Chain A
Amino acid sequence: MLRFMIPRILPQLCRLPLCRYSAAAIPAPSTKPEVHYNKLFINNEWQDAASGKTFSTINPATGEVICQVAEADEVDVDKAVKAARNAFRLGSPWRRMDASDRGLLLNKLADAIEQNSAYLAELETLDNGKPYVVSYAVDLPHVVKCFRYYAGWADKWEGKTIPIDGDYFCYTRHEPIGVCGQIIPWNFPLLMQAWKLGPALATGNTVVMKVAEQTPLTALYVASLIKEVGFPEGVVNILPGLGPSAGAAIARHMDVDKVAFTGSTEVGHLIQQASGSSNLKKVTLELGGKSPNIILSDANMEDAVEQSHFALFFNQGQCCCAGSRTYVQADIYDEFLERSVERAKRRIVGNPFDLKTEQGPQVDQEQFNKILGYISSGKNEGAKLMCGGGAAADRGYFIQPTVFGDVQDNMTIAREEIFGPVMQILKFKTLEEVVTRANDSKYGLAAAVFTKDIDKAHYVSNGLRAGTVWINCYDVFGAQAPFGGYKASGNGRELGEYGLDNYTEVKTVTIKVPQKNS
């Protein structure tokens, strides 16, 4: 079944620039989609924040305010947790619901999202800045597939009966954990929401989700669909808000049973500490990366250049699994570097609603500044700036596609996550050497190797300490295949059957019997 796991859209998209048809099958977008929801979604109702506070969400392509959004803080988190707890009480409609009916609801949600794909893609682009082509052709289909995939799991997540020693009968029940706090980032707002809600709801949990303050709008629209398709009240609660207030309140809440976080490793540390100092809630983390992408000299050059470009620059470089250390074997290094620079120069940066655009703005001013900071550190520490290096427009948060050559392992740009369109190309000689260097990182999220040689492919992929290894491809995701990090890139897995584990409490039931027989 391996070949089925390759999603259709993504490989197409990575070849978009070659085929020059980035407008493939995309309806013309409205560049000013109407915003319908800007409040907190608690207990299936729209509410202002208790404090009455709001924050502005910004269109990163222009720097202009799109609208004001209610800002949740501790009081609102508390309210949402109460609603979620009530929805989870024994005997509640959600707890009494048949697993197959939970699956039906998730399928309906997928259908509703699919019907609203064009609008949601517009809103995503407006709020996040990613090219509309990508929102529509990558993010939305993956969201729909993720919900459908987990819909099917709802009635298939089976416990076991276990032959223990002695006169006992023993079995396990897979039960939901309870109230799950979920904190998601701004780089794939809808997709990260789907990755979190899919397994949590399929297994029967209730959710308090904090969405990123940069990109709250699409998640709130999905909240309206959640209500529309008939999820009972309190099962899903969605709170726009800031990390230090709302996010922290979830992480340290005494009545939240589990917290799942996707974001930076820095904040990941805080989340785990908050759990430790509150109620030891379960923690799953999907954090940063500095993923090595290894190009061997026998690789198909054209393909490797294009894939490596995609691996780094996709989504404005704002991918936790971005291939941000491109290791190239010495004998092809010069040609690879030259071609990569040429490719980066051809990258079309501009209005994300323009169907030709490959790269939109970074998400906000803070990221914009941080990336420019990394670029100057790269220059200062002696890396060779081959192209780009500055802002790409006089307004909005656009950054030129940037490539550094002659990057050394100890440079800041080779060690820290930049989360922007800045490519680091490094040279290596032998396989043993590159595996050691690739693993010399606190991160371990993803990795890739490009080679035609089946032996080398297996040698390198086995040696890499990373949660995902792509061979001759990059950023290939399937709802069926698990994703997550080694080391400081996090713990737990999302997607696939493995993703269900993180939302399940296993109860062992042992019954004394008079006499057991095999």
Chain B
Amino acid sequence: MPGAWAEVDGQKVTFYGSSLVDNSTAANGKPLDIPGASQPGIVTKAGLVLFGNNGKALLVRNVQFEDGKMIPAAQYYSSGSSAAMELTEEEKTFAEQMRAVWQSILNNVSKIEDSTDFFKSGAASMDVVRLVEEVKLRASSCQLQNEDVYMNTTFQDFIQMCVRKLRGEDEEEELVVDYVEKSINNMTIKMPHQLFINGEFVDAEGGKTYKTINPTDGMAICDVSLAQISDVDKAVAAAKEAFEEGEWGKMNPRDRGRLIYKLADLMEENQEELATIEAIDSGAVYTLALKTHVGMSIQTFRYFAGWCDKIHGSTIPINQARPNRNLTFTKKEPIGVCAIVIPWNYPLMMLAWKTAACLAAGNTVVLKPAQVTPLTALKFAELAAKAGLPKGVVNILPGSGALVGQHLSDHPDVRKLGFTGSTEIGKHIMKSCAVSNVKKVSLELGGKSPLIIFSDCDMDKAIRMGMSSVFFNKGENCIAAGRLFVENSIHDQFVKKVIGEVKKMKIGDPLDRSTDHGPQNHKAHLDKLVEYCQIGIKEGATLVCGGKQVQRPGFFFEPTVFTDVQDHMYIAKEESFGPVMIISKFESGEVDDVLRRANATEYGLASGVFTRDISKALYVSERLNAGTVFVNTYNKTDVASPFGGFKQSGFGKDLGQEALNEYLKTKAVTIEY
């Protein structure tokens, strides 16, 4: 109810920026008598809570008095009473400069007194913009928002507000973070560990926490807040308000782009810290984390920042309603509150792939990182706040899929859900999205990607790429080659060389710069891999190397190679998501047959082919039923190229221009004239 008002303490007070709140959360504060209300309002830290006659509670963010002055409702009791600050000589000079500015704007006022009111003296909204700019010129560190001027309408209040900002005493701007600090990898990393809701780091309801584990040694890194149902509601409400009422929804797209560019720059400045956190939380090898987990995340934000002001609609030549005529055009609009649920294999990069497109399109987001890898997402939240993304635009909730992920899928105010994870959970999410409010959904799910190696390939390259197609990021890679089909005539040579390469792989601490292969992400995953290999052996595949846990602390698994894998076997069909190479033979020259076998899977995420024959390369790439086909390369993803699966690997694309469509809705407008 923006603009609603009431008589409070004998004067008319208008309410702005209100949202419904859960009754139980309205707690601590000082009561404020509202005539006609069923019970007194409460001035809390978040604002003024009002109670309706139906028992529902409403949180009001700002209140405006009759004289036009607007204050945060939370400061209803404190504002006005706070003693004026003594100004230093320098600040006095600034004040006098500003007095001259006021004088030049309010040219009908003979003299600017401390009590002179900006708006009562005739200033309009254009003048607010000017005032903000004038302040910036004289004190570049003092970047006001228009709202600051509306909230400090007399000259004295205005100067006090500017000085507070200049002194850095401005509470609003300050981000309070309770860091967990660790000295590691030749640096001190500072990790936020609470939920990030509405621009603040907060505890979960009831102070619930869990421990996140370093897979390298199996030890806890720190306690992380565990989001509950009510936290999800708060985050969604914050995202909704940020979208509907906040600056974000009103901003020029290019300005939105500027903020996202800035966020990318901040991530780049902090890339070593981010990569270190990623390494200890997910077991990613540090150098790989720097290049891929973090490096590609930065590129993703930069790429999508550039899209913000290039999201075009079209004008469409429809049939005219003669004798009149028509103009039809489309507009691409953001969807609103989007939920994003991501996996643990590339914690930051999966966040970036979805969040960057989501924000570039102008949405607000509630994101659930994987429960086992929450830390880089929370660090990202800190950087987003520092980049100046308005509060409520990004909300991060570490928590369980069953609770937080489920509630996001069910939530009536969430209009889109982007999910990356397993096919099983993807189906469940899609069902929940359908049942709740038919929310738009995009799913990037599992894969069992075939890689076909023909005898006419560049063998050295095929070995090198074949290795990385399986062992990259410890096999925790949704596009990992789940099956290698090697042409009969080169099969034995290929296997021999692969084994040689596997033996050279250095297993160790991911922070060690020479390490090739780090620990699996978490214990449960490791246990599953052990079981997976046992099934393979039991069904008669030949275990050439690996197949068991490495005898050292942490969750390390040996790089594993199976040969003689038949199509009916479990390991030929199911995804391992670990460092397990599954090699099958195909008869020389049997291109169509190997294609049939490669496509005989319910997945269709990625695929690859190695051959020097251009016709064969194009033929195979055409016939492979997968969202990505790599020819003579593998894992070459790029921010500008769309990524996503066919069949039960899901639908909807990440990256590239197409990803924007996942976070936009098209409106067609037809005018008759």
Contacts and interface: CB of A to CB of B under 8 A. Distances in A.
Contact of B619 (A154, A457, A514): A514
A4 B253 CA distance: 7
B221 to A, nearest CB: 34
A149 B309 contact: yes
Interface string A144-182: 010011011111101000000000010000000000000
Given A145-B254, A454-B673, A100 B615 contact: no
Contacts, number: 101
Contacts of B252: 4, 8
B291 interface: no
Interface string A456-494: 011100100000000000000001100000000000000
A25 B307 CA distance: 30
Nearest to B133: A25
Nearest to B331: A1
B614 A511 contact: yes
Nearest to A453: B673
A462 B325 CA distance: 11
B307 A512 contact: no
Contact of A25 (B134, B258, B309): B134
B6 interface: no
Given A21-B130, A153-B310, A455 B673 contact: yes
Contacts of A145: 254
A50 to B, nearest CB: 41
A107 interface: yes
A148 B254 contact: yes
Given A21-B130, A497-B312, A156 B657 contact: yes
B305 interface: yes
B327 interface: yes
B657 A512 contact: no
Given A100-B640, A155-B303, A513-B618, A23 B104 contact: yes
A154 B639 CA distance: 13
A454 B671 CA distance: 9
B306 A151 contact: yes
B303 A100 contact: yes
A360 interface: no
B137 interface: yes
A302 B620 CA distance: 69
B577 interface: no
A509 to B, nearest CB: 12
Interface string A1-25: 1101000100010010001110111
A145 B623 CA distance: 45
A156 B310 contact: yes
A24 B130 contact: yes
A516 interface: yes
A514 B615 contact: yes
Contacts of A169: 618, 622
Contact of B261 (A107, A455, A512): A107
Contact of A156 (B133, B261, B306, B671): B306
B309 A479 contact: yes
Interface in B159-214: none
A382 interface: no
B623 A156 contact: no
A479 B253 CA distance: 12
Question: Which of A20, A153, A169 has the most B CB atoms < 10 Å from its CB?
Answer: A169
B623 A517 contact: yes
Contact of A152 (B127, B310, B313): B310
B614 A20 contact: no
B299 A152 contact: no
B104 A517 contact: no
B126 interface: yes
B309 A480 contact: yes
A145 B309 CA distance: 11
B142 interface: no
B407 interface: no
Interface string B125-145: 011011001101100000000
B332 interface: yes
Interface string B14-56: 0000000000000000000000000000000000000000000
Interface in B282-339: 299, 302-303, 305-313, 325, 327, 329, 331-332
Interface in A84-104: 99-100, 103-104
A148 B308 CA distance: 11
A430 interface: no
Contacts of A107: 261
Interface string B487-505: 0000000000000000000
B107 interface: yes
B105 interface: yes
A380 interface: no
Interface in A265-282: none
B307 A2 contact: no
A497 B254 contact: no
Nearest to B327: A458
Contacts of A455: 673
A410 interface: no
A27 interface: yes
Given A15-B126, A25-B136, A149-B309, 6 more contacts: A1-B311, A100-B299, A103-B302, A156-B657, A169-B618, A517-B622
Interface of A: 1-2, 4, 8, 12, 15, 19-21, 23-25, 27, 99-100, 103-104, 107, 145, 148-149, 151-156, 158, 169, 454-455, 457-459, 462, 479-480, 497, 511-517
13 contacts: A1-B311, A1-B313, A21-B105, A25-B134, A100-B302, A100-B640, A149-B310, A152-B257, A152-B308, A497-B310, A511-B618, A513-B615, A514-B619
